[in-house]
Amino acid sequence: MKIKKVLIANRGEIALRVIRTLREMGIRAVAVFSDADRMELHVRSADEAFPIGPPAPSESYLRGDKIIEVARDAGCQAIHPGYGFLSENADFARAVEDAGLIFIGPSADSIARAGDKVEARRAMLAAGVPVIPGSDGPVENPDELAGIATRIGYPVALKAVGGGGGKGIRVVHEESELRAAFERASSEALSAFGNAAMYVEKFLVAPRHIEVQVFADNHGNTVHMGERECSIQRRHQKLLEESPSPFVDDELRARMGAAAVAAAEAVNYRNAGTVEFLVDAERNFYFLEINTRIQVEHPVTEMIYGIDLVRLQVRAAEGRELFFKQEQLVSSGHAIEVRLTAENPYTNFMPEAGIIRSVRMPQGPGVRIDASIFAGQEIKLFYDPMIGKIIAHGYDREDATARMVRALMELRLVGVRTCAPLLLRVLQDERFRKGETDTAFLEKYVAESDWRKLSDFGGIPADVPAVITAVLYAHQQKGSGKAVVSGAEAAPGPSGSPWVAAGRNRWIR
């Protein structure tokens, strides 16, 4: 079936990303928006846009019934869920199918099987995919947990059966911590997912988080598209991803790729998905979960393989067969992505809200921007703090890293703080340059390094661009004397500078 019109059940960067591919394919794009998002770029970029409710996600972007109603009224044939919100909700996918629409993603049954962490674990064991030692089913109470933890050894990780995104997880180092951790994790899981059930696994100390992109059509073809290194993360939320991983050699890549394909086939997977693994220092890898959607970090795979994953998603939803085989997939170069979040790294990543007064995103060779930010935009606290992504592609990892450093130095954003200063310092750290990262890297780096100190980039102190920007903005405000500056160079002012940090992020002359 030829799809002519698609509703994007999402907002912001990913909605705009999908709209762009649909436009290239000659497919009309329909956007939805909450009352808070009326002026957002994805709304203005779509062919049609419809309101779906108040700002709170529970009253708008999580209202599957409203979204399906809009899709039918607008004459859409399909719905693309993006990531987050309803993208991994099996009930929503089933409701879309029942309404006679195409869900651009896996089937509802596959989402349900992969989303149930206990069911997924059982399926992986049956398929011969390595899994972390742990419980075979939900843990009913702390006493049962204690027996399993003693058997597999401490530390252990408590995880929500229906969880994701780092919620409903607690690491327990000794038996005395079990009961309190169980109660907190199950309560958080019930609040976040409506399901308090927990399971337990052996906790791997400082592993790498490496995921494999998979894709399957409806004709029995399943392929993998290499791996992405996702170990730079904070509180289980990724901040920097790259492909290929500096840790993975050809032999390990082949084994992980084969395991990822087997994992996808074990749940009868179709469309784009990601199989996530934890990898220890001895290159043993263990299944973590299947993400049944397009990933935030999908651009790094697109950059090194020269493909458009969203286009492939739409083609597969139309029933078309993959036009390439596994052996035809050959990567080129290295790609790094950083997530630009409206969070202040100087105040323990407190979320930022406010008006973006001006913005200049980096450009130039090998730099891709996936973002929906613009001057005059209001950053709100209703939604995820990620406001965009910067992707750099180079001949090799060294080249891509240098390109990303240059891109972050070009970034100018006035109005809210972002995590860019910390990411820039991480990229320049010798351990990162050597590929010596793991899931605890960022916490250790923040705790142990003096990352706030000013660096010298080509003879220009890092604070100078921030000061210049602040001066220009102050003049724009007709002598108000205040400016809010963000970007890689918006570090605290140096001693003796006529411009000093006031409060969290204000430069006052």
Supply the residues annotated as catalytic: 293
Relative to beta strand 48-53, strand 28-34 is parallel
Using CA atoms, how far apart are residues 29 and 77, in angstroms rounded to an integer?
A: 11
Q: Say which amino acid occupies 245.
A: S
- Collapsing DSSP states into helix, strand and coil, what is residue 351? strand
Using CA atoms, how far apart are residues 196 and 190, in angstroms rounded to an integer?
A: 4
Using CA atoms, how far apart are residues 218 and 316, in angstroms rounded to an integer?
A: 7
The closest of 191, 226, 193, 195 to 211, measured between CA atoms, is: 226
What phi and psi, each to the nearest 5 degrees, are found at residue 27?
Answer: -105, 135
Using CA atoms, how far apart are residues 280 and 367, in angstroms rounded to an integer?
A: 32
Using CA atoms, how far apart are residues 111 and 109, in angstroms rounded to an integer?
A: 5
Using CA atoms, how far apart are residues 57 and 49, in angstroms rounded to an integer?
A: 17
354 contacts: CB under 8 Å, gap ≥ 6: 378, 379, 415, 416, 484
* DSSP H or E stretch at residue 178: helix 178-193
The closest of 70, 21, 11, 14 to 317, measured between CA atoms, is: 21
Residue 329, judged by CB atoms within 10 A of its CB (0-12, 13-18, 19+), counts as middle
User: Is the CA virtual torsion 121, 125, 130, 131 positive or negative?
Assistant: positive
Residue 454, judged by CB atoms within 10 A of its CB (0-12, 13-18, 19+), counts as middle
The closest of 242, 296, 294, 289 to 273, measured between CA atoms, is: 294
Structure tokens at 360: 């200049």
Calculate Rg over the CA atoms of the chain.
Answer: 23
- Collapsing DSSP states into helix, strand and coil, what is residue 45? helix
The answer to whether the bond into 155 is cis (omega within 30° of 0) is yes
